[in-house]
Amino acid sequence: MDRFEKAVPPTRMCLWFEGGDTVRTPYLAFVVEATSREAILELAVLGKSMVAFRLKHGVRHKDDPFLTPRPEHVKDNGFWDYLPDLVPVQPTQPDKPPADPPIPARPEATDSPENRDRVKVLAAEGKSSPEIAITMSEETGETWTHQRIGAMVRQFPSGE
């Protein structure tokens, strides 16, 4: 059986038709809770002369095929529809934070004589390969790895 799916985020406003009556003016309702896949809502309904919200549970969208053979469900729960000026929204993952902008990639480290000399100085100061890699990355704006630094240091003659 195909599932009837409509995207409805909580706090969205919609119209609620009491008893499925489309002749009478619908009530304004706020979505309190929505199922993740099917558009079965819990609504907080507010009418013209109401002083408090009326909660309605298990309210389905007017086009849900589940309602066709079940007029008693429509009579008991009514159905909902989007406000005329709002279109359905795509489902979102509310727990997922917005994506950060991409971090621009640094260029690969260049094996210039100046960089080799700077690595020699840092190695002579007793810094480790990871410490040298961090320092070189900060100073040059290039990507230096401790593996690359280690390979470079191993190529230096022992006396340097």
* pLDDT tens for each residue of the chain, 160 residues long: 345 666 677 778 889 999 999 898 899 998 888 876 667 888 999 877 777 888 998 899 898 888 989 999 999 999 998 888 765 555 555 566 667 777 677 777 888 999 999 999 999 999 999 999 999 988 988 888 888 899 899 988 865 5
Both structure tokens of 155:
């190529």
Q: Which residues of 35-47 are buried (b: 16+ CB within 10 A; e: fewer)?
A: eeeebbbbbbbbe
Q: What is the pTM of this model?
A: 0.50
Strand-pairing partners, residue 14, are 29
pLDDT at site 93:
56
pLDDT at site 38:
67
pLDDT at site 1:
39
How remote is the C-alpha of 53 from its chain's centroid?
31
How many other β-carbons are positioned within 10 Å of the β-carbon of residue 6? 20
